[in-house]
Amino acid sequence: MKTVDFLREITRLRGLSGDEGLVSAFVAQQFAPYCDEVTVDVMHNVIARKKGPGKKVMFAAHLDEIGLMVSKIEDDGSVRMGSVGGVDPRILPGQRVTVFGKEELLGIIGAKAPHLLSQEERGKNYMREDLHVDVGLPAQRVKELVQIGDQIQLEHRFTELQNNRIAVKTCDDRACVAMMFDALKRLQDIRHDADLYFVATAQEEVGSRGARTSAFALEPDYAVALDVCHAETPGAPQGTMKLSSLTASMGPYLHPVLRSKLMDVAKDNNISLQTAVVPRYTSTDADDIGSARDGIPTVLLELPLKYMHTTVELLDGKLLTEGGRLLAQFAAAVKEDWEDELWT
């Protein structure tokens, strides 16, 4: 499977935080031909191992997605929504969604028509409580098929634009899982001494819980966390990252010498990296991996993304393979003597 097709398929699958079984099964199946062993733990973390005699290295990108859940069914059959992860209600009106009740129900998100809004209401943004899902069924039938807590997935549309741009939901962070897939394919032809673990983590959007448990279980010597960052858009703050280059973040939660090693590998392989400064916690899996057990030297590689936490998250498709190339070369570069350098 091509890396872009992997992204097309993985973004289609339901995998809201806390219920990632379908998407973790897909990842395990796709990773398996390129690994010595693949396991899925009780939290739906996918742990793919490519054996080596050297240092244990963990690569981690999360596979869960944001979404919605049923919070109330109104007397007319309209379904009110709660949030799973950070969903901005401003993006919701007019969207198509799937409600996963006893049957899969296609629905649309509606709100009071602008003609019916009061003057005060017109001056405010929509709140999630103002919106509802309409599945087109009578109230009694809705109540037979749907219950409180059922999941609601945002619409999947894989859109390929000019200049290798791709827009689709759940690039955060399944695009980085696709980069790990690309790296695994490349490592079939690259010698490595390190004992490699490619981990697709669960429940990042609700607190990096999968990263915490998998890092504790594996106890790696080094780790590379993969996530997305904000790319330049009109009105974005100065210093926002360029869309066309991967980002190696720098900050107190990230190991400076290990980051320098990553930069050296990128330079040696003619891979462009830009720098983001993160003065405190990164709000990614890197935070929980780095503080697992007695501490794990960790770096953060980020993929610039436009329109984060929407159904049209946009990336530069070339970076999927550039990121895979960087991860594979970094995996091959890890040596036993890095241990001495990291603490001197």
Q: Which domains does the chain have, with CATH numbers?
A: 3-65+169-342 (3.40.630.10), 67-154 (2.40.30.40)
CA distances (Å), origin 124, targets 84, 152, 301 = 23, 25, 38
Which neighbouring-strand residues pair with 108? 96, 134
- Torsion sign across C-alpha atoms 310, 312, 315, 321: positive
Which neighbouring-strand residues pair with 226? 61, 301
So what's the pLDDT on residue 125?
73
So what's the pLDDT on residue 238?
79
3-state secondary structure (DSSP) of residue 240: coil
CA distances (Å), origin 243, targets 151, 273, 303 = 32, 11, 8
So what's the pLDDT on residue 75?
94
| Exposure b/e, 289-324, CB count within 10 A at least 16 = b | bbebeeebbbbbbbbbbbbbbbbebbbbbebbbbbb
**Helix (H), strand (E) at residue 210:** helix 209-218
Please tell me the distance from the alpha carbon of residue 332 to that of residue 334, in angstroms, as a whole number.
6
So what's the pLDDT on residue 65?
97
Max distance between CA atoms of the chain, in angstroms, equals 70
Other CB atoms within a 10 A radius of the CB of residue 63 amount to 28
In this structure, what DSSP letter does residue 241 have? B
CA distances (Å), origin 4, targets 1, 8, 58, 177, 179 = 8, 6, 23, 11, 10
So what's the pLDDT on residue 338?
86
So what's the pLDDT on residue 35?
96
Structure tokens at 9: 């398929």
So what's the pLDDT on residue 121?
64
Instruction: Burial-class residue 274 by CB neighbours within 10 Å (0-12, 13-18, 19+).
Output: middle
Residue 283 CB partners (closer than 8 Å, separation 6+): none
Task: Decide if 272 contacts 245 (C-beta within 8 A).
Answer: yes
Going from the first residue of the chain to its last (344 residues), give the mean pLDDT of each consecutive group of 10, the final group possibly shorter.
97 96 98 97 97 97 97 95 91 94 95 68 75 95 96 95 96 97 97 97 95 97 97 87 95 93 96 93 95 94 96 97 98 89 69
Catalytic residues: 204
* Helices H / strands E in the chain, number of each: 10, 17
Length of the chain, please?
Answer: 344
Query: What is the DSSP secondary-structure string of 159-201?
Result: EE-STTEEEETTHHHHHHHHHHHHHHHHGGGS---SEEEEEEE
Q: What share of the chain is helix, strand, coil (3-state, %, to 5)?
A: 35, 30, 40
So what's the pLDDT on residue 343?
67
Of the candidates 205, 195, 232, the one whose C-alpha atom is nearest the C-alpha of residue 306 is: 232
